[in-house]
Amino acid sequence: MTVVNTFSQTTDCNCCSEAQLAFDFWVGEWNVTNADGTPAGKNSIVKEENGCVLRENWTSAKSGFTGTSLNFYNALEKQWEQLWVDNTGNYLKLAGNRVDNRMVMTSVELTRSDGQKYRNRITWTLNKNESVSQLWEVLEGDQVTSVVFEGLYKKILK
């Protein structure tokens, strides 16, 4: 009797589907500026765990603020997920997918201390010049009520 291992690998890449590569445009070493052109900080996005995880390491231009995120494609849910944690103890959980040249992730609905419900939505846009724009909006229902961050990522040339 021959036993066939149905779990054997047929490729060296576990996370190489189109969906799993959809956020690779964010990988790199970046200088980040605010919408007005002033320095926002530096960001390093690297692929880890055999390419299955994107790890972000953020250092703000304002002294003392850092953060990190883990980003991965959840094949069961068919969506990208991000968990952000910073050195102030704040965290943000997002989920979403790539649409054309944009990765759009949104949080679940949260409740402020005044009872108002809101969601966070972050959109990363791959620009024609290979820079990446990031827009972090706060939504109440489907209405944008504020912009938390708007920045432009430009690759650090080595």
16 domain-assigned:
no
pLDDT tens-place string over residues 91-108: 999 999 999 999 999 999
What is the CB neighbour count within 10 angstroms for residue 8? 6
**Burial class of residue 115 (count of CB atoms within 10 Å of its CB; 0-12, 13-18, 19+):** exposed
pLDDT at 11: 57
Per-residue confidence (pLDDT) for residue 13, from 0 to 100: 83
Q: Is 39 helix (H, G, I), strand (E, B) or coil?
A: strand
Residue span of the structural domain in which 138 resides: 24-155
pLDDT at 10 over 70: no
Is 18 inside a domain boundary?
A: no
Q: How confident is the model over 113-133, as pLDDT tens digits? A: 999 999 999 999 999 999 999
CATH value at residue 80: 2.40.128.20
Residue 28 inside a domain? The answer is yes
* 2 is a domain residue: no
> What distance lies between CA 37 and its chain's CA centroid?
21
| Domain count within the chain | 1
pLDDT at 37: 97
Residue 23 in this model has a pLDDT that exceeds 60: yes
Q: In this structure, is residue 151 part of a structural domain? A: yes
pLDDT tops 80 at residue 154 = yes
State how far the Cα of 92 lies from the Cα of 70, in Å rounded to an integer.
11
Residue 58 has pLDDT above 90, yes or no: yes
